[in-house]
């Protein structure tokens, strides 16, 4: 026999919460950010990857879909176009997507795993990013090599630092340049991230002291192990 257990706990209906905060009914006020995932191909195969991306994946947004996205971008002129992957840079249409979005007057953000910027055929990307004023959201699990390499593979930390230095040399992450270089931190185990401001201060101090690297800001992220 099923018997309901009255715990005395009541979940407030969503509509009720909206009404209390003066936001009912919810209405669309337009699209501010047009986010596009261009595929699962990546030069890395991180243990924590929530989209299971990697070098063996073949799913990549085809050129004609990128063209369709650009048609929408040109028509709607979203304030922000936000590109993600995989390693989005590995999609053959990536540069066209960035340039087309910029031509349409959009601010462009892209995710980068940093190490791709050192791979053959991608070395000119930092300059391309700077020329197009692309905002970078760079993943770096931790400011210590051992912890980062455990999650992302041997040598990833050193390559990431080299890429960060290249970006700094172009003005990324430097005061007054207008070139934004944000870092994403995610926990290396089954625990929640520490407060964002605290870990940002740790990264800023340690990356500067150990490697002379600067960045704009840091976001904490909690990966879902799927
Ligand atoms: S770099 Fe990012 S997209 Fe690529 S495997 Fe690692 S977590 Fe996934």
Which atom from ligand 1 is nearest to the alpha carbon of 111?
2
pTM of the model: 0.89
Residues (pLDDT < 50) of the chain are: 1-2
Which residue's CA lies nearest to atom 8 of ligand 1? 49
For residue range 178-189, what is the model confidence (pLDDT) as tens digits? Answer: 999 999 998 877
Q: Specify the pLDDT at position 6.
A: 66
| Dist. CA 87 → ligand 1 center (Å) | 7
Q: Which residues line ligand 1 (CB under 6 A)?
A: 42, 44-46, 49, 51, 53-54, 85-87, 113, 139
Architecture of domain 31-220 in this structure: Alpha-Beta Barrel (3.20)
Which atom from ligand 1 is nearest to the alpha carbon of 85?
3
Q: Specify the pLDDT at position 1.
A: 46
Q: Specify the pLDDT at position 4.
A: 57
| Dist. CA 195 → ligand 1 center (Å) | 23
| Dist. CA 25 → ligand 1 center (Å) | 38
Which residue's CA lies nearest to atom 6 of ligand 1? 46
Q: Specify the pLDDT at position 225.
A: 55
Give the list of residues 6+ apart from residue 87 with CB closer than 8 angstroms, or none: 41, 42, 43, 44, 53, 112, 113, 116
Q: Specify the pLDDT at position 7.
A: 67
């Amino acid at each position: 026999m099923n018997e309901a257990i009255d715990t005395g706990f009541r979940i407030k209906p969503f509509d009720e919460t909206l009404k209390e905060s003066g936001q009912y009914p919810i209405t669309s006020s337009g699209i501010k950010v047009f986010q596009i995932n261009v595929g699962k191909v990546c030069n890395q195969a991180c243990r924590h990857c929530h989209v299971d991306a990697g070098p063996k994946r073949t799913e990549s947004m085809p050129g004609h879909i990128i063209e369709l996205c650009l048609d929408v971008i040109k028509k709607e002129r979203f304030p922000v176009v936000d590109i993600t992957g995989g390693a989005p840079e590995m999609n053959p249409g990536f540069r066209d997507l960035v340039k087309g979005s910029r031509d349409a007057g959009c601010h462009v953000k892209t995710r980068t795993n940093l190490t791709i910027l050192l791979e053959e055929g991608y070395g000119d990307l930092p300059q391309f990013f700077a020329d197009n004023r692309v905002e970078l959201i760079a993943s770096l699990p931790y400011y210590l090599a051992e912890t980062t390499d455990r999650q992302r593979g041997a040598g990833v930390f050193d390559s990431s630092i080299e890429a960060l230095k290249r970006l700094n040399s172009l003005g990324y992450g430097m005061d007054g340049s207008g070139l934004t270089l944000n870092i994403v931190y995610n926990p290396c185990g089954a625990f929640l991230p520490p407060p964002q401001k605290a870990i940002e201060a740790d990264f800023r101090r340690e990356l500067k002291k150990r490697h002379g690297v600067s960045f704009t800001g840091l976001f904490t992220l909690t990966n879902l192990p799927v």
